[in-house]
Amino acid sequence: MPVDRHSPTPLWAQILEDLRLRMAADEFSERFPGDLELVRHYGVSRQTVREAIRRLQQEGVVERVRGQGSSVRPRPLEQSLGTLYSLYRSAEAQGFVQQSVVRVLEERTDAAAAAALDCDAKDPLVYLERLRLLDGTPAVLDWSYLPARLARPLLKVDFQRTALYRELERACRVRPDSGWERMSPLLPAPAERRLLGLDPVTPTFLIERLAQAGGAPVEWRHSIVRADRFQFVSRWSSGRVGAAFEPPAELRPPRSG
In a shared domain, residues 98 and 157: yes
Angle between helices 35-42 and 46-58 (to 10 degrees): 120
- Is residue 1 in some structural domain? no
In a shared domain, residues 117 and 151: yes
163 vs 157: CA distance, rounded Å: 10
Query: Structure pTM?
Result: 0.68
CB 114 within 8 A of CB 89: no
In a shared domain, residues 60 and 136: no
Domain that holds residue 38: 11-72
188 vs 254: CA distance, rounded Å: 28
In a structure prediction context, what are the per-residue pLDDT tens digits for the chain, which is 257 residues long?
A: 678 888 999 999 999 999 988 887 878 877 888 889 999 999 999 999 999 988 888 776 777 766 666 777 666 677 767 676 777 777 777 777 888 999 999 999 999 999 999 999 999 999 999 999 988 889 899 999 999 999 999 999 999 989 999 999 999 999 999 999 999 999 999 999 999 988 877 889 999 999 999 999 999 999 999 888 877 777 766 655 555 555 556 555 555 44
In a shared domain, residues 49 and 140: no
Provide the CB-side half-sphere exposure for 158 (13 A, CA): 3
60 vs 68: CA distance, rounded Å: 17
- Is residue 216 in some structural domain? yes
- Is residue 139 in some structural domain? yes
In a shared domain, residues 228 and 142: yes
Query: What CATH number is associated with residue 44?
Result: 1.10.10.10
- Is residue 250 in some structural domain? no
In a shared domain, residues 95 and 198: yes
- Is residue 190 in some structural domain? yes
- Is residue 149 in some structural domain? yes
CB 213 within 8 A of CB 174: yes
- Is residue 103 in some structural domain? yes
Burial call 229-249: b when 16+ CB within 10 Å, e when fewer = bbeeeeeeeeeeeeeeeeeee
In a shared domain, residues 56 and 99: no
Query: What CATH number is associated with residue 179?
Result: 3.40.1410.10
- Is residue 252 in some structural domain? no
Boundary-marking domain end, from 20, 40, 72: 72
Boundary-marking domain end, from 54, 72, 90: 72
In a shared domain, residues 119 and 183: yes
CB 109 within 8 A of CB 124: yes
CB 212 within 8 A of CB 220: no
Report the number of distinct structural domains present in the chain: 2
In a shared domain, residues 68 and 81: no
In a shared domain, residues 168 and 108: yes
In a shared domain, residues 52 and 177: no
Boundary-marking domain end, from 40, 72, 104: 72
Please give the pLDDT value at position 32: 86
CB 117 within 8 A of CB 126: no
In a shared domain, residues 68 and 106: no
